[in-house]
Amino acid sequence: MARAWAEVSLGAVAANVAALRAEVAPAEVCAVVKADGYGHGAAPVARAALAAGAGWLAVAQVPEATELRDAGIDAPILLLSEPRLSELDEALAARIRITVYTPEVIERLGRAAGAAGPPVPVHLKVDTGMHRVGAAPEDVVALAKAIGAHPSLALEAVWTHCAVADEPDHPFTAEQLERYEASLADLAAAGFRVPLRHAANSAAAIAHPASRYDLVRCGIAVYGIPPSPALAGSVALVPVVRLATEVAAVKRVAAGDGISYGLRHRLERESLVATLPIGYADGVFRSLSRSGQDVLVGGRRQPMVGTITMDQLMVDLGPDSEVRVGDEVVLLGAQGEERISPDEWAERLDTISYEVVCAIGARVERRYTAS
């Protein structure tokens, strides 16, 4: 039996994809399933998203795409960054839509693809200001010409990525889209037809209709989490994950006694303390107990206390609790009328909800439900 588990609602994934499709139509939805589906499980999420009408998938690394192909998934898969040169053969074997933005990768990919089969579709990425990866706008036409010089390659798309779309009023998103449009105009003037245009991540797809073009790449929203607190409620999203464990031990601790490593937390009154078999190795950040984070036990909030350890954490149940060994405890998600969201953890940790769900560890069993 698992000591901790993450219940992943594939029905919620489907509902979120449907809501996003309705919001961005006629653009298609590309479900981003990198990082093992943001910790939810790449292949199950991918299948649910595709069944709900997503037309594309996206990953960050070539082995992630190969894993999806090995799972029998045949949909178009976009690789979001250039592969390493040593991965070109694997990428071609997996029939990935490969992102390119440097002459060397285009040249090597053109040679690796050969001329035996149909041209390999590639997506040319332009850096419109995020300055992570992508070609400078002034180099886009030359790179398109380099792609065109290889009969084995075909320019399928030109795309970019928005840096501040999760801040709806920030003017830089409009500036990025202007730079992107200028690159498209330069390509058109040079005689290039771009079949597919995409710029929007989840935040841009929701908050910036002008960014939707032909395809939107939705990651965090697929998992039922708003891209930022400012966008909460903009689209009806259903939470996908519920992280739970069970009470492993309960003991009565005297007032004034310390709890866990360092004995930094001391009880103000005699209390029952529960030990849970989940810790920072499983994605429960060590600082959560110091910041006052609760868990849900019996539908009620109870505080984490003492230092969270690698495999365990402690909860103050109060002096009169009837909680017993084996009772369910929820760390993320709903129990009764109460709910703890990834955003709640993120606020306490001074981070983003993406990091919270991606941190759920490999020891945590994933349990998939259709509801």
Q: Which residues of 9-22 are buried (b: 16+ CB within 10 A; e: fewer)?
A: bbbbbbbbbbbbbe
Question: Which CATH number among 3.40.50.10490, 2.40.37.10, 3.40.190.150, 3.30.70.370 corresponds to the domain 241-369?
Answer: 2.40.37.10
Give the residue-averaged pLDDT of 30-38: 98
Which of the listed CATH numbers 3.30.70.260, 3.90.950.10, 3.10.129.10, 3.20.20.10 matches domain 10-222? Answer: 3.20.20.10
How far from the centroid of its chain's Cα atoms is residue 185's Cα? 32
Which percentage of the chain shows pLDDT scores above 90? 98
Res 115 pLDDT > 80: no
Bridge partners, 315 (sequence order): 274, 304
pLDDT for residue 371:
87
Cα–Cα dist 298/300, whole Å: 5
Mean pLDDT of the region 320-341: 97
Domain boundaries, the chain: 10-222, 241-369
Rounded CA separation 237/235 (Å): 6
280 catalytic per annotation: no
354 is annotated as an active-site residue? no
pLDDT band at 364 (very low <50, low <70, confident <90, very high): very high
At 169-208, the pLDDT tens digits run 999 999 999 999 999 999 999 999 999 999 999 999 999 9
Q: What is the pLDDT of residue 117?
A: 79
Q: What pLDDT sits at residue 137?
A: 98
What pLDDT score does 116 carry?
A: 65
* Among the listed residues 21, 143, 33, the one whose alpha carbon sits nearest the alpha carbon of residue 82: 143
The string of pLDDT tens digits covering residues 138-162 is 999 999 999 999 999 999 999 999 9
Q: What is the pLDDT averaged over residues 83-106?
A: 97
273: closest CA among 330, 331, 321, 329? 321
Given pLDDT bands bounded at 50, 70 and 90, which one contains residue 15? very high
What's the token pair of residue 254? 């005297």
Specify the DSSP class assigned to residue 222: G
Residues in the chain, overall count: 371
Question: What's the average model confidence in pLDDT over 306-312?
Answer: 98
* Confidence (pLDDT) at 328: 98
Mean pLDDT for 242-268 is 96
Is pLDDT of 320 > 70? Answer: yes
> Which residue(s) pair with 34 in the sheet?
none
pLDDT exceeds 70 at position 367 = yes
State the average pLDDT over residues 339-365: 97
Chain centroid to Cα 43, Å, comes to 14
Q: What is the dihedral angle through the alpha carbons of 356, 361, 362, 366, rounded to the nearest 10 degrees?
A: -60
Q: Catalytic residue among 213, 251, 261, 280, which?
A: 261
User: 34, 125, 213, 354: which one is catalytic?
Assistant: 34
Q: Give dist(CA 1, CA 36) in Å, integer.
A: 23
Mean pLDDT of the chain, nearest integer: 97
CA distance 194 to 158: 7
Name residue, tokens 């399933």. Answer: 33
| Per-residue pLDDT, 345 | 98
| Segment 59-69, tens digit of pLDDT | 999 999 999 99
Averaged pLDDT for residues 17-36:
98
Query: Which tens digits make up the pLDDT trace of 202-238?
Result: 999 999 999 999 999 999 999 999 999 999 999 999 9
* Average pLDDT score over residue span 281-295: 97
Average pLDDT over residues 91-104: 97
Mean pLDDT over residues 250-263, rounded?
Answer: 96
Rounded mean pLDDT, 326-343: 98
